[in-house]
A and B are shown apart, each in its own frame.
Chain A
Amino acid sequence: MKLYLFAIGGSGARVVKSFVHLLASGSNIPIGTEIVPIIIDTDAKSLETDKLNKTIYKYGEVQRVLFDNNEDYRNSCSFFNTKILTKQFNFESLNLDSTFNKFLNEYEGQPRKLKDDIKNLMDSLYDTSPENSSDTELNLNLNVGFKGNPNIGGIIFNMLENNIDFKNLLGSINATDRVFIISSIFGGNGSSGFPALMNLFKQSELEGLQNAKKAALTVLPYYDLLTDESKENDTSINAKLFNSKSKSALSFYIQDNVLNSLDAHYYVADNKRGQYKYSARGENQNNPATLSEFLGALGILHFLNTSQFNPIENKFGFALDMLGSGAGDNIIHLGHFKKENKVYSHVLKQLISFAFAKKFFDFLCSNENALNPGFKDSSDFYNRSNESYRSVLNTYYEDWQNWIDELENTTSGKRGLKFFEFNREIDELIHNANKYKKLKIRDIEGEVTTSIRASTKQHKPFKYIKAINDYFNVINSPHPSL
């Protein structure tokens, strides 16, 4: 089974990034599932897209080096064991380097004017302010995205229908595959792309696509943008309007039979929002990872792990208990997730194992001389031939660590997600939990050494991660509320 993950716009890319990091840790999904992210962003220079692509590349590199194309290796290791086949889609082929008005009235440089009545209608529906005005719609230059105007994006996205790459992509979807669309409701790309994609799906005659189970995550406002007072009337980027815009879109969505036909529809928002500086160009917009994106990624996992869908009960939300009061309310930790819940057993448990493995890996990398000579000698961990392996894994871990740090960050006023304390000893790794007494670095060293020795014939890079993986999956990861 393949999961076709359509990530539209910045929020789409950000949720997928969290999802990839959860997959790295081995979150439970049906065996054999392959992920096909399709990243759709009209802003070709979007930093979010770029960051996601890099993360996926690093993930792929780890798989390449660790598993050496050996499926048995991949299947026997819970870390990094899901295949991610990336497919980026951009709008360059649609030649959108013009204003919306030109888009309507010209084709390949030749005038193709709208009929008078339609032109009048468009003038009554779209703001015709000049191109340099922040209000403009009809004269908006499309090379900067839709600037919060789904009434424009909703038209442009229809161009996808005739795009050969896109057609091929849809044609590859089988009835047993699944489709998941992530989009925000309050921006430009996502809110126009999601309904347009759903309409394309609906009109498609591809049986595979028609029959594949489909779900969507609608990301409601979860961050704010700081804008100059003078720009408060710039409605395209005014964060104060995020709620109002969401309301009108929600009102539209609830009547739309196409959207209501989803097998599952997930909604996520946050009323405790970080405030970030607005940048007109996507390449400079660099917001930290948030809890909402993390929950969104959990939504994808929920969809993958659901086999029966109810046509009535197909809307989903998420809520958490917040213990304590005061400032601490804004920090979510593992204790807020109950051990008996699937989120814990399917995702967080694996994430904890992965964190332990990462901590141990860091320890190995930085404590060559402090190690037990037996371990050092028996392994060739420090051999030059294994440098590339260490480097590839290290590169991914850095990315992962950044993500963890960003989730934790509360400085912009956003809610923090604090699971781990990497600056502490390994037995105190889990934030807000009792010390895990059984964990001593020497014990781990010994166990892992034995495991490595037992698998001398295995592909070298693989045996380390497998040994570490096995060790940390075998221990009963401590639940922080205990």
Chain B
Amino acid sequence: MINYKFLLHEPENKPPFQEWSFIPPITEEDISKIEDSVIKSTSGKIGTSIPTPLARLFTFKTAFSIVNKQLNAGEIDVEDIRQSIYGGIVSDCLDFLEWIFVEGINNFEQIPVNLTDNNDFGVTPNLLALSKAFNSTISSYFNKGLTITLFKHKQSGFIVGGTSPYSLLYTSPNWRREVKQAGLIQLRGLSADTLFDDTYCLLHSRNINFVSYLNSITNPILDKGDNSHPLKGFAEYVQTTIKKFGIIPQDFKAFDLAVFSPSHYFSFGFKKIDIESGDLIQSDFYLDKNLQHITSGNKPLVLSSKMTLLGQYVKGKPWSKDDIINFNQPYHSDLNKRKLPNSGIEYEYPFIIDSDLFQPKLIEVSYNINNNYFHTIESLKYGTRFLLPVKPLFFEIIGLDHISFEENLKVEETGNILKVTLFIPIIGSDGRYQKTRMVEFIKEYSIDTNSGKSDVNVTPFECAFFPFFRRIDMVNKNNHNKIILWLEKSNVENKISSILFYDNNLDIIGDNKIFNPYSKKSLDETKVDLKSGFPLTPVKRMEYGEEQFITNYFSTHLDFRLLEIKLAGDGYGGLLIPKFIELKRPFNKKFKYAIDFGTTNTHIEYAEMNHNGIIENTKSPFKVEISGNVPQINEKPLVVLMHKNSETLGDLDKVYPILMREFMPPSIGNDSNYYNIKFPTRSVMLDYKTPKNDTDAAFLHSNIAFKIGERDDFHPQAIYTPDLKWLLEDSNEIDKDIYKNRIRMFFEQLFYMIKYKATMDDCDEDGLTLCFTRPMSMKDTQLNTDIQKLIKLAIKKVFENDPNDTSKYIFELDESLAPYENNRAKFTNDSFCNIDIGGGTTDILFAYKINNVDYNFYLTSFRFAGNVIWGNEADPKTHNGIIQYFTDIASAKSKLHEKSHPFSEAFHQYNQYYLKGVSDSELVSVLFKNNEVLKFTETVFTNCIDFKLLLFIHYSAILYFVNFVYKKYETKLKYETTLSLSGNGSLYLNLIPVTAISNLLLKKFSNSTSNPIDGVIKEDFPKEITARGALLMKPIINQRSLVDDINSLDDDFVEVCIQLKEHTIDGSHVDTNSLTPELTKSLSSFFSIIIDLLKTNEKLKGQVGNISNYAEMFNEKYYAASIMKWLHVEKPNLKNIDSVFFKPLKYILFDLSNAIYEKNKIR
């Protein structure tokens, strides 16, 4: 068997793989083993394959590396290597070096060319392209720029080549030709070999003095083991040659011939001055603090410009107050590499000066920084708008936990000068100065913005932190994911270039990577924290057209204490030091949270449990408050913003709604404050990037759309995903993964809120119990399994523990039972029935007491709820008649008002959504939210009473089903029941006389003469009671008999539906006349009763509209057509055929809403 690897090199893993399979990254070693054709080259030119104008430098580098490896491997004859194309390049380079070695550099004119990563060779597109080609190479390979010194041969005027960091020198591809042109034949080196001729010569054949010279240059590089040294390949070749050919290099210093000093041309040097320990001089200006980790053990001196303190600078040499420290001197950034000022010799020793402590300018934000939550400096003129103009070293010296802003930092303001003084403790070695003294460092900043000499730069940005507490009892508990939202204007001059996070020891978090919101190198720099899965680099979220705001999210599981914000350009910055709320409490309380995950809305209730797990007080609803004053122990902000709550954000005001919408609101509660949101909140996700895998994290790309429908003047690329609960039901495989991630993130965010809220309430994860309900219609479905799995994943991520501990995380509570649990005290009858109408599902609980303790319970649910009335699921391309009717009237009405009129403003907002094609259920949600201003329900139902027919029919259908159940289980259930109504979808019942209608209808449906119900309980907050009930519910209800198979009125027709569906999906149409009347029986019977009722009851007609106006819609043929429409549009799952009653009804009601609109619209 022969293995064919379709590669040039031999990968390490084991072929045959027969598929595209992982291979290890190709290494230089692999490349060296690829066979070269040994062809003779006389041009010294390889026709490089390297796509950069500096290709020639890389070719020379490769040549040395390859020839070295070939020599080392010994598999190719040395003579063949010499003659190879790369042998030729090595030979050319050595010829050039040897020539200079012999003759010196005086024969050449030296032309330095400075290249940076921002070259500008000219403004034409062509020259821009050239600049760009150089720039990208420089930025990728030579981050500090590159100076190439070209050598022009004075005699001939030709350029021979230039310096290269990879091979000391490279030759021009033209030089060989030009040697001949210039008549420079037989250029000689140290031996008889002719330079630059067609006979190549490798190093081992060259003069021993030349080899020794190269040895003296290259040996230290390898000795130091510096693998990243650019000359490494070159050095290895020299050393391999020496070793392989047994050359004994001589002491190079014996020769005076070498006049080419590489260190003169290259930034990397080969010399180092070593300071022996004990050399240093005793001084009276040692820092009174051990900073060993930055100063290699030497205690740094502290030297302030013109400081007046007495003492000896070095032993026997008193400090001069003369200006020996030049403030502007660019001292080495590494304290250890600094050469002591005025030391007379180049004496390296660490010392701290002004520029290590002060930022050169002030950074001003466009609002007052909330000094309750952040350390800041205060100016009479500006307030608290400045970041601290101090460098992190200052806090490292003083210690973050020991800093006293009174003692160590002073701010004075005189006129337009803000003077900042820092005090650094020093200690002397002389007996007179062995007590701690303070060196004062003073920096004056001009705040005169009119003079043009201001030291103030305005950089509008805002930060939000979540969570804002630290647990000081258990530092490891602070290893939560701190999430920081960053919002700024990106089209201003003083953009922020990077943000550094420092931990308690003032070490930069994140492997010294800079967090740069503008970085294009996101992939290079992305470090994923394996513990949290969060990227440590920011995710750029969006830009708002001309407004040019961007938001970024940072996340770190590390406990940072301080942020350094750096500006682009000069790179200076300022510090932001949060005063995190410190928690040190027993954390021994127990809480239970119930989450009602609804189709449209989600609600959370919570309660404290005693140590036996019994709930004593229900706390309702989930509420976290912020007051904005000095942090108190009982204050519970979820999110802390940099600015003071009640004040303007200045330049950022315009984008404030986005800040609020994108980030979790600071406070959760019922107060009518813009910073608040309250539960129930919409079950809608807001995405800026499609979440593709389960490592995507909530906040970074995806948030709960807390502020959906409010003040959205921008048109971002946001995607709102509603209907999370049922998303997975019919989606294809690709969408399914994305949807799964959205749902998981939705729960993640809820759990983060719960987790941190509980922590602040003195409860840690161990004391926390979560419970969830699900509707009957989900029971035993794949959807339920999927959602539970996602909840568990989110729990695992947020709580980082085992989500399978069901004693703490309860998933399987029956939603239908929850209202009963909550209302138990109100049910005094033996029989009761709760109808919970949600957005997508209606759940019904039937109960009848059979003895003192036991009940017969029947639970059921079906997909016929609020959205059928308000939505346009039946035909997403068309609007519901209600929406059309309202929009027409409101549009006309808005024209009568000024633009600034509240009605016009609210309508404009709504209309934006309408025009965007947002679904009707979302539109209705906006309308209900603004009902007071827009008068939605009044406009529709008062102006056109016929729209109430929709509400009436909807409710009647549910009662028709209720009656069906009572009839079917007449031996187990009894009428004379108490009816309770819950669920957000039941709110529409406020628009019709529900109590009267209920008895009227049930009497008709049951042919009874007495009233079937004895009372109706309606909830003011119907959504909340499900969550509240769940909270009270016990996880196992073993004494109750549960029946859950009564969710269809038409079990007998399932087979017929399957057959019909097959026809429908096949694309062929079935004649509706051929439908068996049995199939439409439920619909016919239902409508005949209610039509009859409406015809005969004038009062009712006046209350709910006149159905006779739409008589053509209520006949067998229409019912049959609606059944066909359902089967055709929804393509229901064969295994789960829904009710032939409820499903077509959705289409009938949708058509009816449009018929009402057509009949009543403004003409």
Contact = CB atoms under 8 A, between A and B. Distances in A.
Contacts of A289: none
A150 B689 contact: no
Contacts of A369: none
A429 to B, nearest CB: 23
B1043 interface: no
Interface stretch (A42-50, A243-251, A397-405): A243-251
A256 B133 contact: no
Given A150-B50, A316-B20, A120 B39 contact: no
Interface stretch (B5-13, B216-224, B552-560): B5-13
Nearest to A30: B734
Interface string B30-70: 01101111010111011111111111101101100110000
A194 B50 CA distance: 11
Contact of A155 (B22, B27, B133): B133
A318 B129 contact: no
Given A203-B520, A319-B16, A104 B130 contact: yes
B21 A318 contact: yes
A32 to B, nearest CB: 7
Contact of B6 (A120, A235, A319, A342): A319
A31 B734 contact: yes
Contact of B113 (A121, A244, A310): A121
Contacts of B32: 247
A248 B152 contact: no
Contacts of A186: 49
Interface string A306-329: 011010011111111111010001
Interface string A137-174: 10000000000111101111111011000000000000
Interface string B497-519: 00000000000000000000000
A121 B130 CA distance: 12
Interface stretch (B118-126, B446-454, B799-807, B1107-1115): B118-126
A162 B125 contact: yes
B1125 interface: no
A232 interface: yes
Contacts of A124: 56, 150, 159, 161-162, 170, 172, 174
B49 A246 contact: yes
B37 A154 contact: no
A176 B696 CA distance: 14
Given A155-B53, A159-B125, A317 B62 contact: no
Interface in B268-322: none
B173 A248 contact: no
A211 interface: yes
A124 to B, nearest CB: 4
A220 interface: yes
B1045 interface: no
Given A104-B130, A251-B58, A317 B37 contact: no
A1 interface: yes
B554 to A, nearest CB: 18
A302 interface: yes
A317 B58 contact: no
B130 to A, nearest CB: 5
B524 interface: yes
Contact of B31 (A247, A270, A298): A247
Contacts of B43: 127, 135, 233, 235
A343 interface: yes
A347 B524 CA distance: 35
A199 interface: yes
A246 B8 contact: yes
B49 A249 contact: yes
A357 interface: no
Contacts of A220: 7-8
Given A151-B55, A269-B7, A315-B26, A247 B20 contact: no
B1 A32 contact: no
A337 B150 CA distance: 56
A258 B522 CA distance: 10
B150 A129 contact: no
A317 B21 contact: yes
B51 A241 contact: no
Contact of A159 (B6, B23, B129): B129
Contacts of B4: 319-322
A443 interface: no
B473 interface: no
B141 interface: yes
B159 A120 contact: yes
A258 B136 CA distance: 10
Contact of A120 (B35, B111, B523): B111
B1068 interface: yes
Interface in A236-269: 236, 238, 240-241, 243-258, 260-261, 266-269
Contacts of B522: 210
B5 A256 contact: no
Interface in B63-121: 65-66, 85-86, 111-113, 121
B24 A315 contact: yes
Contacts of B46: 235, 241, 244-245, 248
Contacts of B31: 247, 250-251, 254
Nearest to B2: A322
Interface stretch (A109-117, A278-286, A375-383): A109-117
A249 B50 contact: yes
Contact of A238 (B39, B132, B172): B39
B673 interface: no
Contacts of B47: 148-149, 235-236, 238, 241, 245
Contact of A125 (B5, B56, B122, B540): B56
Contact of A321 (B16, B132, B692): B16
Contacts of A254: 25-28, 31
Contacts of A194: 51
Contacts of A114: 121-122, 127
Contact of A118 (B16, B25, B121, B734): B121
Contacts of A72: 1067
A125 B122 CA distance: 19
B838 to A, nearest CB: 31
Given A247-B66, A315-B25, A318-B20, A295 B6 contact: yes
A127 B150 contact: no
Nearest to A113: B122
A108 B172 CA distance: 30
A253 B9 CA distance: 15
Interface string A202-245: 11010100110000000011100000000011011010110111
A121 B162 contact: yes
A220 B113 CA distance: 35
Contacts of A338: 18
B677 interface: no
B1010 interface: no
A232 B521 CA distance: 42
B194 interface: no
B172 to A, nearest CB: 4
Q: Lowest 5 CB-CB distances: which A-B pairs, in order?
A: A154-B51, A235-B47, A319-B15, A249-B49, A261-B523
Interface of B: 1-8, 11, 15-28, 31-32, 34-37, 39, 41-43, 45-56, 58-59, 61-62, 65-66, 85-86, 111-113, 121-122, 124-130, 132-133, 136, 140-141, 148, 150, 152, 159, 161-162, 170, 172-174, 177, 520-524, 540, 542, 689-690, 692-693, 717, 732-734, 737, 1067-1068
Interface of A: 1, 30-32, 72, 103-104, 107, 112, 114-115, 117-118, 120-129, 135, 137, 148-151, 153-159, 161-162, 175-176, 185-186, 191-192, 194-196, 199, 202-203, 205, 207, 210-211, 220-222, 232-233, 235-236, 238, 240-241, 243-258, 260-261, 266-271, 291-292, 295, 298-299, 302, 307-308, 310, 313-323, 325, 329, 336-338, 341-343, 457
Given A155-B130, A175-B690, A319-B17, 18 more contacts: A31-B732, A112-B122, A118-B121, A121-B150, A135-B173, A137-B173, A151-B48, A176-B690, A210-B522, A233-B41, A240-B37, A241-B37, A243-B36, A244-B46, A266-B20, A307-B693, A314-B22, A320-B16
